[in-house]
């Protein structure tokens, strides 16, 4: 098939979270299976410098944007056979320090930026020399491309165009903007209705994708109500809705060949994992002690991730003997609270505020336990990385965390993590205590670690499921 993925972030070119990892890995996996794959994404600051072999498409795309006009120059990169990355260049929108925000504040022109990106996606589909079979949109940022493309094809009398699939990675982000941004789409107002792109008198980019795509997928197995105001639409589109759990790119996340680690290790050689722990303790200026259990956490510092209960649980367990390291960035109040905690508990709690891909690998490799107390987590990748790197996940039973981690109470033979149910610091602190008890029983700890490292969430299964959805051969979720 000829497939074009559209995403506002793609690893290794740009990343703020799991979306980038997923799209980068899906593109590679589909190309490896023999499909002709493109990925369209913005050209952010610094990409050109890191990838100097970008070549421009001959014809730039001139796009109307309300009463104005903006040009998208598209640059191509071929990182692998059958895989092309299309970077949409418009310095006014994308040459900035952040992808979506700076200092915790969304860019005020995000509507313009991503309406422009969606237009570039739709026009690229029409400009590509060969006809596309499938356009796969990810999250709200390219969402309007679904309606823009359908409208354009209809007006040009050009038939139905490619099948369109949208994947919802996080229903909490929908790209909702005031109605006065709608004219930037240059679509007729007929589309601005509750059956179209309107959502309580506002423009909703994710809704646009959900209404106008042929098929919708989420990255979780849909056992719970998904919500966030779009339940009605999800119910209405039930027959076109599928849940597909993300996979892990084990080429990027392999403790045996990870360039970020000084001591590679495997399930059969856990001695080197201990060396990674000592190196991590040193990197964070903690006493390098093999006997003290080390807990790690990496992630966006946002309410969704359970930051408030983790901060409180760390206070509540202050008398216990363990170390904690954190790498994260996000809301200023959370960044400050962690820095404050580290000042109050030197030698026990250490934090780095920022985004650092290599360090995130070293935390998974060096930690004994990986904490993920999310309030909600559609899929979550960090717990799966933790499993592969032998950092036993401590997770709340929500979404993908519940689907991928096995507690001893569920299945003693395959137990690979610790789960707690209630969203409270007390329940999380109990999880931490359980982890400390486990640490006190080395043979059981080793058993958990082996189970964890052997858990397999490879892309093979995920790719096969996406292909079924692309080809219309999948069965909708019950
Ligand atoms: P989400 O996509 O909701 O942020 P996931 O667990 O699915 O959560 O994915 C998060 C990804 O982003 C992981 O690869 C994680 O390591 C990475 N990540 C998040 N914050 C940071 C950070 N501050 N530095 C490095 N990597 C980070």
Q: Do domains 2-247+460-470 and 271-456 have the same CATH topology?
A: yes
By most ligand atoms within 8 Å of CB, the mutation choice from 14, 21, 258, 300 for ligand 1 is: 300
| CA 14 – CA 331 distance, rounded (Å) | 20
What is the 89 CA–ligand 1 centroid distance (Å)?
Answer: 25
Give CA angle at 50 (47, 51), nearest 5°.
Answer: 80
- Give the pLDDT of residue 473: 83
Measured from the Cα of 400, ligand 1's closest atom is 7
Residue 17 CA, ligand 1 centroid: distance in Å: 4
Task: Please give the distance, rounded to the nearest whole angstrom, from the Cα atom of residue 132 to the centre of ligand 1.
Answer: 31
Q: What is the pLDDT of residue 225?
A: 63
pLDDT at 476: 63
299 alpha carbon – ligand 1 mean position (Å): 5
What are the domain boundaries of the chain?
2-247+460-470, 271-456
Nearest CA to ligand 1 atom 17: 17
The Cα 380–Cα 108 span in angstroms is 28
Tokens 């983790």 sit on residue: 310
Atom of ligand 1 nearest to the CA of 372: 6
* 121 Cβ inside 6 Å of ligand 1: no
Q: How far is the CA of 8 from the centre of ligand 1 (A)?
A: 15
Q: Does the C-beta of 173 come closer than 6 Å to ligand 1? A: no
The reply to whether ligand 1 has any atom less than 6 angstroms from the CB of 355 is yes
Q: Which residues are within 8 A (CB) of 228 and not within 5 positions of it... i.e. 6 or more apart?
A: 171, 172, 174
pLDDT of 104 reads 82
CATH number of 2-247+460-470: 3.40.50.2000
- What is the rounded CA–CA span in Å between residue 40 and residue 74? 9
Class assignment of domain 271-456?
alpha beta
The three-point CA angle 248-378-193 to 5° equals 125
Q: Is 328 in the pocket of ligand 1 (CB under 6 A)?
A: yes
Ligand 1 in contact with 366 (CB < 6 A)? no
Closest CA to 170 of 338, 299, 362: 299
Q: Where are the beta strands (DSSP E) in 43-159?
A: 55-56, 61-65, 68-80, 83-89, 101-102, 105-106, 134-138
Residue 83 confidence (pLDDT): 98
Cβ-Cβ contacts under 8 Å for 144 (sequence gap 6 or more): 114, 115, 118, 119, 185, 197, 205, 208, 209
Nearest to 240 by CA among 261, 266, 212, 272: 212
Query: pTM of the entire structure?
Result: 0.95
Positions in the chain whose pLDDT score sits under 70? 223-227, 476-478
**Distance of alpha carbon 7 from alpha carbon 42, whole angstroms:** 8
- What pLDDT, on a 0 to 100 scale, did the predictor assign at position 226? 66
| Cα angle 282, 287, 288; round to 5 | 60
């Amino acid at each position: 098939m000829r497939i074009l993925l559209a995403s506002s972030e793609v690893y290794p070119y740009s990343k703020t979270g799991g979306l980038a990892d997923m799209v980068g890995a899906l593109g590679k996996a589909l190309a490896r299976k023999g499909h002709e794959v493109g990925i369209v994404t913005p050209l952010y600051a610094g990409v050109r410098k890191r990838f100097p072999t970008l070549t421009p498409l001959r014809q730039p795309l001139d796009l109307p944007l309300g009463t104005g006009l903006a040009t998208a120059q598209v640059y191509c990169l071929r990182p692998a056979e059958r895989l092309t990355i299309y970077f949409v260049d418009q310095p006014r929108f994308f040459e900035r320090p952040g992808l979506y925000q700076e200092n915790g504040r969304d860019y005020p022109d995000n509507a313009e930026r991503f309406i422009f990106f969606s237009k570039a996606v739709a026009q690229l589909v029409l400009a590509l020399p060969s006809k596309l079979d499938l356009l796969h949109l990810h999250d709200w940022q390219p969402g309007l491309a679904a309606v823009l493309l359908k409208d354009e094809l209809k007006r040009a009398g050009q038939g139905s165009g490619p099948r369109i699939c949208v994947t919802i990675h996080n229903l909490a982000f929908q790209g909702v903007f005031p109605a006065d941004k709608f004219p930037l789409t240059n679509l007729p107002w007929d589309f601005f209705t509750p059956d179209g792109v309107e959502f309580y008198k506002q423009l909703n980019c994710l809704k646009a994708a959900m209404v106008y795509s042929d098929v919708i997928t989420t990255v979780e197995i849909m056992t719970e109500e998904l919500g966030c105001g779009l339940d009605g639409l999800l119910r209405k589109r039930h027959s076109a809705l599928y849940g597909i759990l993300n996979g892990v790119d084990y080429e990027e996340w392999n403790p045996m060949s990870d360039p970020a680690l000084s001591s590679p290790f495997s399930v059969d050689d856990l001695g080197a994992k201990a060396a990674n722990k000592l190196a991590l303790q040193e990197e964070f200026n903690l006493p390098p002690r093999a006997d003290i259990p080390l807990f790690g956490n990496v992630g966006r510092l946002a309410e969704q991730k359970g930051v408030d209960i983790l901060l409180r649980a760390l206070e509540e367990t202050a008398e216990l003997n363990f170390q904690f390291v954190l790498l994260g960035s996000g809301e200023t109040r959370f960044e400050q609270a962690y820095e404050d905690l580290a000042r109050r508990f030197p030698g026990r709690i250490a934090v780095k505020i920022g985004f650092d891909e290599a360090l995130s690998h070293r935390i998974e490799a060096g930690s004994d336990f990986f904490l993920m107390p999310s309030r909600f987590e559609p899929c979550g990748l960090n717990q799966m990385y933790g499993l592969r790197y032998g950092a036993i996940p401590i997770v709340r039973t929500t979404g993908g965390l519940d689907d991928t981690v096995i507690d001893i109470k569920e299945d003693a033979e395959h137990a690979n993590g610790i789960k707690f149910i209630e969203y409270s610091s007390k329940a999380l602190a109990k999880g931490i205590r359980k982890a400390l008890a486990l640490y006190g029983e080395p043979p059981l700890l080793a058993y958990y670690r082996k189970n964890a490292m052997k858990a397999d969430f490879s892309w093979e299964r995920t790719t096969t499921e996406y292909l079924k959805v692309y080809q219309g051969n999948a069965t909708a979720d019950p």
